[in-house]
Structure 1
Amino acid sequence: MKAKAQRSICIALVALSFSSALAACQSNSPSDAQNGAAGTADEHRTLTVEVFDRGKPGQPDLNHNFWTTYINDNFGKQFNATVKFVSVPRAQEVDKLNVLMAAGQAPDISYTYNQGVVYNYVQQGGLAELDSVLQEHGSTLTKYLGDDVLKYGKFNGKQYAVPGKRTVLAGSNTFIRKDWLDKLGLPVPTTPEEFYDTMVAFKEKNPGKVTGVIPYAYSLQPANPGLSYIPEAFKPSNLTEEQVATLQPKAIWEANWSMPGFDKAVQYMNKMYHAGLISPNFATDKDGKLSDADISNGKVGAFQTNWDGPYRTAPGTYANLVKNVPGAELIPIDPWQNDAGKHPKNGYSPNGMYVIIPKSSKNVDLAIQYLNWMADPKVTLFLQNGEEGVDYNMVNGVPKQTGTTNSGDKMMTVANNLDYDILSNGIELGDPKKNEAAISTGYPGYEKDVENALKVGMVDYYTNYFYSIPNAADAKNNAALKNLSAQMLAKLIVAKPAEVDSLYQTLVQQYMDQGGKAVEDEYIKNYKDQNSK
């Protein structure tokens, strides 16, 4: 699924040279590294901070713009420091960060969304321990995040990362062409069976009168190969906590080969494929761009993506669809009902990105002071919205943008400016209800649609089991197993229906032999160790 590739990048294992470089980093005095003792308290220092370069057309200089000026005029002057931003390409952030860490040149404040990458750095001894410095300099920060978020940055019982706080936990939604349903007089499907029958009707009756109709758009992406939320309908509802934790350790939209019911989900997709109901080029559409184009051109009846995917400005599928097909209408639906009549949705955990500080940094104290300053509600409000009365107006306690941050020196290259406000993944007003009310204002023209999509996306929400003990086997084998999973899914979806069961067993055994069993065994061991304490 295209959108999910954005929230969990394929783990890149650190090269051998990285180990040597980290060993060299560890030769620094621990007291110097931990306390940032590069000089006296009065000495002017430079704090380097990572910032994603998203390559957005017209974006300003990422190190010199309205937001960086605000940061330096406020935090910088208060702490006698200059904050220098180091841009990293968003699409290559893991690879780039690995290179910077190996060379001992990673910014004082670096970050990634990938827990496995952070764990690799911890294992190599490349990150500063943060417990004592958080206690000394992070009172506002730790209060804002709370233990439920901070725990995601603990490894081996010690704090090595400061997790950002995710304010929107919805994961994905299934969207359908309501105008097609209306033309055929069909109800909104609420079960897998109804969804299948609706897709058949879309194919046979082609309500859009398009050439090459695609009832259900699907692309198999190697970064996160899976079946979106379809497995939710086939996973038994009576699984124990241990079974869910160990057999579905990854997000539901990824391939969980040992999860009960996953084979049934594969059979469902195989049936869809042979009935001509899914994208014929699903296996080669590795970045989802072909699916986006098909949706925009009015060829697609239904698809799954981020809970807010159609309303985003990039790739702008809904706006392009309406432009190309006047009268087209998309709505979120909830067809993946399980055996208990529920519609479970595996959403995001409450943590956002992992903010880390290299052990080689001599500004560990200053880095935590920077994050602590950023946790101030007034700072968060400014970084996410700008200047009141100029960049936004407060209406019923919710900031409404005026449009000044869409271009020029104030351009936000991502919603809520989260590349600079790295502690908050999503709008943050200090109140969950206000946050929800404010979300829709970030989608001009789609406010009501977004409110409804968020509501649908949170029905029967749950998140994955939290492991305080990282899985080393997963970190080692993750990239190879994801690649293998993509190949397996492609083969199973196109296989002859009579051969799916036997092929499934053969391929899963191959998966287990090539590292899957080691990963599963370690999850089982970690679960038992974690719950025996």
Structure 2
Amino acid sequence: MNTGVKKTTAILFSTALLAGVAAGCGSDDKKSGDTASPAASTAASAAPSGPPVTLTVEVFDRGVQGQPDLNNNTWTKYVNEKFGKPNNAIVKYVSVPRSQEVDKLNVLMAANEAPDISFTYDGTTVTRFAKSNGLYTLDELMEKHGKQLKSYLGDKVLSYGKYQGKQVSIPAKRTLIAWNGMFIRKDWLDKLGMPVPTNKDELYATLVAFRDKNPGNVNGVIPWATAAAGMNYTFGNLVQSFWGPMSEEEFVTTPNWLKPGHKDAFKWLNKLYNEKLISPDFALDKTAKQADADVTNGKVGFYAANWDYPLTQKIRDPLKQNAPDAKFVPVDTFKNSEGKYLKEMYNENGLFSFIPKSSKNADLAMKYLNWMANPEVLFFLQFGQEGVNHKLVNGIPQGITQTGENMQMSNLNLDYTLVVNGAELGDTEKNVRTYAATLAAGDQSYEKFAVDSYKINTTDGYTGFYYGVPNDSDVKYGKTLGDMNKQMIDRLLVAKPAEFDTLYDKLVKEYMDAGGKAVQEENIKNYREVKGKK
């Protein structure tokens, strides 16, 4: 498939670590809480003179029960000791309710009172601020004060923070970019003497065997669990495996319903449903509670969900209790006509940090973000001190439950580590293992599962095209089209096979007339603008 969209094959077992990361990983020679390296702090003799400058930085208030003062805790003390003092600055955190972050930012920006470093996960909001000339352009500031930051993030991540060719925000690096995963009962395959399926035909034969032979000897076997619940119990990369050749522009701007091969994908799913290979009442399962129950009760042979879903407590623990012999393994089974296992991944960026035009401390703000990109600083802010905030198990830091000022209000102190989303140990495999250990409460048996699943679900992967400009039609029609999309999936899967083609064409026409065509046309316009085409 000539999509033109950049495909990424994850280099999972990279040996190239970030410079100096080992010093920050709690080695035997030095505790991770010791931060004496010159990169982590500036010599006191070089500190600016005069009264200290106050640098304001946004922080989310997530309303965590028992949380410490967001301006006075282990992490803020570290920041002020290691960055504040050497730079003759006081770092003051301005709390913003997580559930109201965009609304609150709009008010602060309108009043010219936004923190010197503000952030949001909403790229459209950043673009809107940039469009109204409300943000600093950061190119010169980065060249002057942000070389470590620039090196750490790299051009690809930074490209998500550009507007009209200028750097207007600093995107955080997302260290784990896998999205959906697919999982199959290996113990059932072993009982049937069948191999792990590697393509659609093999999967179909496996699902039929699960249905007819019921290797788990369960009441109400479900070969493939699905649900009408968004992210979980999806179709994995099945749909992409049916797509035909497209140019980059077609791949990026064409609604999925119009992509070549998309109709065939849903016809295949319709066949599976009518042959009782898919959850019979999936359309009624709006919260995935039924699918969760089916999986954890040992009734399910195959399902697709987030790549890490089997590691989550709500799946892991009850499955162990109800079906202790069950063994799910990650699988890649939807091969396209080119022999690729095409699948969408998260973009490489996380939240967007920016400096409002109202800030009087733009240079200091960039110095702060640059300082944070140091591996030693990141390690402490994410994991703290060995023996106090974390313990090392096979070289992987695992958090120790904390209360009081040591508590982290978000996973890996996400709200204090603005340049990264996810564990950062300088190596993808270590990042995955750390994440798995945290999610699975230190159960090391899940580390291999996580590494295998991550590798599978970043192989032949692609990231979505980043326009950098909002699609006004999508804002206008997005809710309507999103609701229609769910209804279309439900109706097409349960339709009588003889009525499928007519129904598909009818529903797609209604979808395009309800706003799909307007969104597509604006996507084409924006794509050509970004690409410099007429």
Tell me which interval the TM-score lies in, with the shorter structure as reference length: 0.7 to 0.9
Q: Aligned to 1:73, which of 73, 81, 85? A: 81
1:235 is displaced (CA, Å) by 1.0
Distance in 1 (CA, whole Å) between partners of 2:506 and 2:402 is 52
Q: Aligned to 2:316, which of 315, 318, 326? A: 318
2:400 matches 1:400? no
Aligned to 1:47: 56
Unaligned runs of 5+ in 1: 1-39, 249-255
Distance in 2 (CA, whole Å) between partners of 1:303 and 1:288 is 12
Q: How does 1:15-26 map onto structure 2 within 5 Å? A: none
Unaligned runs of 5+ in 2: 1-48
Distance in 1 (CA, whole Å) between partners of 2:480 and 2:266 is 21
Aligned to 1:328: 326
Distance in 2 (CA, whole Å) between partners of 1:378 and 1:113 is 25
What letter corresponds to residue 73 of structure 1 in structure 2?
E
Q: Aligned to 1:430, which of 426, 431, 439? A: 426
Using structure 1 for the length normalisation, give the TM-score.
Answer: 0.79
Aligned to 1:375: 373
1:133 is displaced (CA, Å) by 3.5
2:238 matches 1:230? yes
1:219 is displaced (CA, Å) by 2.6
Residue 222 and residue 402 in structure 1: after superposition, are their counterparts in 2 closer, same or farther (change >3 A)? Answer: closer
Distance in 2 (CA, whole Å) between partners of 1:54 and 1:279 is 38
Distance in 2 (CA, whole Å) between partners of 1:64 and 1:283 is 49
Aligned to 2:413: 417
Distance in 2 (CA, whole Å) between partners of 1:200 and 1:410 is 53
2:249 matches 1:242? yes
Q: Is the 8 A contact 2:396 2:433 kept in 1?
A: no
Moved more, 295-304 or 362-371: 362-371
Q: Aligned to 1:352, which of 350, 353, 370? A: 350
What letter corresponds to residue 333 of structure 1 in structure 2?
V
Q: Is the 8 A contact 2:176 2:428 kept in 1?
A: no
Q: How does 1:221-300 map onto structure 2 within 5 Å? A: 221=229, 227-236=235-244, 238-247=245-254, 256-300=256-300
What letter corresponds to residue 426 of structure 1 in structure 2?
G
Q: Is the 8 A contact 2:227 2:233 kept in 1?
A: no
Aligned to 2:57, what secondary structure does the other structure show?
strand
Distance in 2 (CA, whole Å) between partners of 1:392 and 1:336 is 40
Residue 266 and residue 50 in structure 1: after superposition, are their counterparts in 2 closer, same or farther (change >3 A)? Answer: farther
Structure with larger Rg:
2
Aligned to 1:47, what secondary structure does the other structure show?
strand
Residue 163 and residue 487 in structure 1: after superposition, are their counterparts in 2 closer, same or farther (change >3 A)? Answer: same
1:468 is displaced (CA, Å) by 5.0
Aligned to 1:130: 138
Using structure 2 for the length normalisation, give the TM-score.
Answer: 0.78
Q: How does 1:351-500 map onto structure 2 within 5 Å? A: 351-361=349-359, 363-388=361-386, 390-392=388-390, 399-405=395-401, 409-412=405-408, 415-432=411-428, 435=431, 441-442=437-438, 443=440, 444-445=442-443, 446-468=446-468, 470-500=470-500
Aligned to 2:329, what secondary structure does the other structure show?
strand
What letter corresponds to residue 321 of structure 1 in structure 2?
L
Residue 212 and residue 126 in structure 1: after superposition, are their counterparts in 2 closer, same or farther (change >3 A)? Answer: farther
Aligned to 1:19: none
Q: Aligned to 1:84, which of 67, 81, 93? A: 93
Q: Is the 8 A contact 1:172 1:307 kept in 2?
A: yes
Distance in 1 (CA, whole Å) between partners of 2:309 and 2:421 is 16
What letter corresponds to residue 210 of structure 1 in structure 2?
V
1:45 is displaced (CA, Å) by 2.0
Residue 404 and residue 496 in structure 1: after superposition, are their counterparts in 2 closer, same or farther (change >3 A)? Answer: same
Q: Is the 8 A contact 1:53 1:62 kept in 2?
A: no
Moved more, 213-222 or 497-506: 213-222
Moved more, 281-290 or 160-169: 281-290
Aligned to 1:12: none
1:132 is displaced (CA, Å) by 3.9
Q: Is the 8 A contact 1:62 1:87 kept in 2?
A: no
